[in-house]
Amino acid sequence: MAAPQETPIAPRMAFISTTDDLADMLGTLADLPTSPPSLYIDLEGNSLSRAGTLSLLTLYLTNSNLDIEAAQSAPAGLGTAAAPVTLKTILESPTIPKVFFDVRNDSDALFAHYKVALSCIHDLQVMELATRPMTTGNSRQFLCSLSTCIRDNAPLSSTDLAAWTAIKEAGNALFDPKKGGSYSVFETRPLRTEVQDYCVQDVVYMPLLWDIFEHRIQKDRMDEAELAQMAEEYEKDKKKMGFWETMVKEAVVLRISVTWETWYRPNGVHKRKGCWTWGQIREARRRWALGFRHGLCD
């Protein structure tokens, strides 16, 4: 696997505010490369969840002439339009990978408001948890925020990290009620420059993080003793998944399906907890050693 990519240059951005522009953009997405993923997504809204609103969709396209698309008209593209490609068909496609960071409230809002059932999702938060180095003081008990994830994993210069942090803090000050802001800034048009910059910063390093975590997952896969014994078989079937690759896939499917339940709570300290307890990981390891390749944490 290729080494992690360099710090991305400043992306070009287009703000989409009409359904015609949205349709034109969607027509370019169906045939994009899928390995690595081409679509990196973040949603914003006023209390983004079933109880709030979905105001803005930011899409980072890594294999397109345009890098960042911020779609105000996202709701229109989520409907059951006659067009062959809609946001709904892309988000629900089982063959087009989409990358999010902590997909839970995004999924909650999409399903509750537009009946969009996400599929083929890569969640960077879960990938980080699975590949987190188990050094002194580290554990998988709690999840990381995007800021912590970038700080601890992305090979950024101090200048790049400081610039990213400054933009994030400026955006937070505008929408965080605890800092005197309001989530209504995501619904105000034209969108303020500071808000546009904030949205870009949420997705611009996602491809870099995906590459880093995927590299670790594949290294773990090849380091497993049983795979070392099955090297010839592995070469014949490179679709065979490793332990942590399987754990991540199952955890993401589970966290999405939970957001479709009536009892899902979009906010609270419970959301800081990791996807697995130590006991669950140990039992999953035991099941893996016995030959189980799915349902490891059932």
Q: Residue 168 falls within a domain, yes or no?
A: no
Q: Residue 158 falls within a domain, yes or no?
A: no
Query: How many structural domains are present in the chain?
Result: 1
Q: Residue 104 falls within a domain, yes or no?
A: yes
Average pLDDT over residues 71-98: 75
The answer to whether 52 and 45 have CB atoms below 8 angstroms apart is yes
Measure the CA–CA gap between 236 and 250, rounded to whole angstroms: 24
pTM above 0.75, yes or no: yes
Q: Where are the beta strands (DSSP E) in 134-284?
A: none
Q: What is the pLDDT of residues 128-181, one digit of tens each?
A: 999 998 765 668 999 999 999 999 999 999 999 999 999 999 999 999 999 999
pLDDT for residue 268: 95
Measure the CA–CA gap between 273 and 290, rounded to whole angstroms: 28
Of 271, 274, 268, 218, nearest to 246 (Cα)? 218
Measure the CA–CA gap between 202 and 199, rounded to whole angstroms: 5
Q: Which two tokens stand for residue 256?
A: 């999405």
- Is the confidence at residue 75, as pLDDT, over 60? no
Domain limits for position 82: 13-144+207-289
Other Cβ atoms less than 10 A from the Cβ of 254: the count is 13
Q: Residue 177 falls within a domain, yes or no?
A: no
Q: Which two tokens stand for residue 52?
A: 């709030």
In which residue are the tokens 């390995």 written?
35
Q: What is the pLDDT of residues 240-294, one digit of tens each?
A: 788 999 999 999 999 999 999 999 999 999 999 999 999 999 999 999 989 999 9
Q: Residue 155 falls within a domain, yes or no?
A: no
Q: Residue 176 falls within a domain, yes or no?
A: no
Q: Which helix (H) or strand (E) holds 21?
A: helix 19-26
CATH number at residue 50: 3.30.420.10
Q: Residue 215 falls within a domain, yes or no?
A: yes
